[in-house]
Amino acid sequence: MMDEPDLQPLEARLGYTFKDRKLLAMAVTHPSATQSFVPDGCDNQRLEFLGDAVLQLAFAHMLYIRYSDMAEGPLTKARARMVNERTLSDMARKVDLGSELIMSRGEEANGGRERVSALADAFEAAVGAVYMDSDFPTALKVIECIYGAVIGEGAALPDIDNPKGELQELVQANSPDAPVYRLESASGPDHDRLFESTVHHGGRELGRGSGKTKKEAESAAAAEALKLLKAETPEVEQTDGSAV
């Protein structure tokens, strides 16, 4: 059993001082930490569950207030961008959560401190811990401070006219690999060319499109791929954007 960790530096990076520091200790306790200091015998999974809900509400609130003329669809996409696994792990790195994680030696040896999923889970748990130790307005302020310029004017908004960007964001929520575009054909005279492109990910063709330029053909292929993925997994338009 380890001594209780010194989490004051992490509190400073989070911008919040805990009344019950055991909540923060729990938030940084990875499920693998069976032999480490575990407050009340708990890891961070329950706080992760709570923090996810707090983040969803926080960004729904912020986007609703900031963008009063925006429809539900773009608002949902913007929120998904802010709470997907990759963005959450980026925020965890911003406050150096990885260095504070309590985990087994095996998990650490296997790169656990830099694992995207572990960082994202710990960040959600930290938000949940702040909420449990205070209230929603306080948690909201902490979230706004950590995200900073990412939620500045327009920064959270998805480009609804950029299917290639949206597709890349969608597939890379769970994979480090970007979509790959291939020019399949080019036909017609020089002044009136027609290009056909396909887009692939994970060895699978996701979409096919055509256009007067290669860029138009790739955008059309990306749009088809988005339709396919959203039809296969409808919740990608409603949840954290991590399903594809």
**Residues designated catalytic:** 52, 124
Quote the tokens at residue 171: 């597939």
Which residue in the block uniquely carries the two structure tokens 């608002």?
Answer: 75
Residues paired with 74 in a beta bridge: none
Cα 121 to the chain's mean position, in Å? 10
**b/e string for 215-227 if b means 16 or more Cβ within 10 A?**
eebbbbbbbbbbe
Question: Cα dist. 170→31, 82, 115, 148, 222 in Å?
Answer: 27, 12, 19, 23, 11
Cβ atoms of 55 and 143 closer than 8 Å: yes
Whole-angstrom Cα distance, residue 185 to residue 198?
10
Quote the tokens at residue 185: 């054909």
Whole-angstrom Cα distance, residue 26 to residue 38?
7
Torsion sign, CA atoms 120, 73, 65, 137 = negative
Cβ neighbours, 10 Å, residue 9: 12
